[in-house]
Amino acid sequence: MKFEQPLWLWLLLIVAALVVAYVVAQRRRSKYAVRFATLPMLEKVAPKSPGWRRHAPALAFLAALTVLTIAIARPVTDVRVPRERATVVVAMDISNSMAATDVEPNRFEVAKSAATDFVDNLPKQFNVGLVSFARTANVVTRPSTNHQATVDALNRLTLTDSTAIGEAVLTSLDAVKNLDADAATDPPPTRIVLLSDGGNTSGRPIDEAAQAAAQAGVPVSTIAYGTAEGTVNLDGRNVAVPADADSLRELADATKGSFYSAESDEELRSVYSDLQSSIGWTTEEREITNLVAGIALAVALLAGLASLLWFSRLP
């Protein structure tokens, strides 16, 4: 929690002084009672002590003053709020290695299904687009609020040769330029979500793409997909196709995105669920003066009510 006017917090010293004064006053009352009467006589004459209730209203009132002082300092806290606008580009690896069956029934079918659920669960007002990449990268659907078009395009994807991760990022950046009428002066926050199960084997290098994304202020969240034991049959021979997690992690780090690793259907869906939550919400600073002042008022009212009920007087 932060404060817009922290100097008002010095008033808490006054509250602390009142607490000290109250404690001293109570000790003096106890001292004089013992001095002028013997304990056996006090037990017979004095009414039953209210115990802790005697102090509760005063302490509650002091607590209300403390909270009210905090309200005067205009506290500010971080609040999680849903985004009104955003653009998400799903970059999908369609290289032949995605046919590996280490994820049942195979990587490609599971990846398409999980990406479909991800798109379906994004807020309807978000722009969503699809870029596929193998030897080159292509914009399959341009970002728009027509999420069904992206879902349909995902289902039509087919596999081909090579993996051009750098091209996928650069093509995704081109797809979000001049997206809507407000993009030039008020561009919506953009995120590229890139899934790949291999290393960069075609097109421009990942470092060049990472630099372009960082300059554009577009985070690239990457998913290294598949197990280390994954193989695919190419021309009659089994070829190992482990994901290049190091390159994907460096791409995410360089662009201030998030890196994930998924080796199963469940893990991949969990990754997309986490991405949906982080993309769909943002954290903003909000002043909570009214809330804190309301708490102070409620505590003060409770202190007064308790004092009236127990002692027929205000504290």
Share of the chain above pLDDT 90, in %: 48
Q: With bands split at pLDDT 50, 70 and 90, how would you rate the model's confidence at 222?
A: very high
Q: Which tokens in the block code for residue 191?
A: 């995120």
Asked if residue 196 has pLDDT above 60, the reply is: yes
- Higher pLDDT: 123 or 288? It is 123
Is 157:112 a contact under the CB 8 Å cutoff? Answer: yes
User: Global pTM?
Assistant: 0.69
What is the secondary structure of 211-279 as a DSSP string?
A: HHHHHHT--EEEEEES-TT-EEEETTEEEE----HHHHHHHHHHTT--EEEE-SHHHHHHHHHHHHHHH
Give the pLDDT confidence score for residue 315 in this predicted structure: 59
Give the pLDDT confidence score for residue 57 in this predicted structure: 72
Give the pLDDT confidence score for residue 12 in this predicted structure: 75
Chain CA centroid to CA 228, Å = 30
Q: Which of 39-43, 70-74, 104-108, 266-270 has the lowest mean pLDDT?
A: 39-43
Question: Can you tell me the distance from the alpha carbon of 2 to that of 13, in angstroms, rounded to the nearest whole number?
Answer: 19
Asked if residue 36 has pLDDT above 60, the reply is: no
